[in-house]
Amino acid sequence: MDNESNGKSASAADILAFTDRRYVKRTNHRFGVTVRGQSWTEKEKSDYEFWLSDMRGGIHRERLMVSKRRMIVMCQVDDDGKGVYAAGDESRLEGVDGMLTSWMFDLFSDHVGFGKDEVEELVKNSDSVHADGSLSS
């Protein structure tokens, strides 16, 4: 995907043309469910990273605990591309099997452009983890 090339370099117009959503659809056979996720814009990805952090360079503990569910809420869409959850529905996923939510998180985080374990790396590389702060965006 990111192989070295001798081809012509992309212009700003070339890059700015990539505004269409991409979708991923996978079936988890263990649970017998098929999920579909949408890509994020650069702003949505940055907003998620900012939401996870706090102003002191650390990570909100409460937000870290909700980060997988928040990504699922933000990414999962139906076959028409409409979100299947309302904003703030993270708490509805609290009782769902953790193996399923971890699988969905891994699928969606890769699809939106986070490298393997990148969200966890954000935590490791933060100055500290803080327990204060609200859960709102």
Any idea which fold 21-130 has?
rbstp2171 (3.30.2220)
pLDDT of residue 131: 46
How many other C-beta atoms are found inside a 10 Å radius of the C-beta of residue 36?
Answer: 16
Alpha helices in 26-115 (DSSP H): 42-52, 61-75, 98-112
pLDDT in tens, 65-91: 888 999 999 999 999 999 999 988 999
pLDDT in tens, 33-68: 999 999 999 999 999 888 887 656 666 677 778 889
Q: Which residues pair with 129 in a beta bridge?
A: 59
pLDDT of residue 129: 47
Tokens of 74: 């933000």
What distance separates the 2 farthest-apart alpha carbons in the chain?
A: 51
What integer best gives the mean pLDDT of the chain?
A: 85
The four Cα atoms 49, 54, 57, 61 give a dihedral, to 10 degrees, of -90
Instruction: Classify residue 1 by its DSSP letter.
Output: -
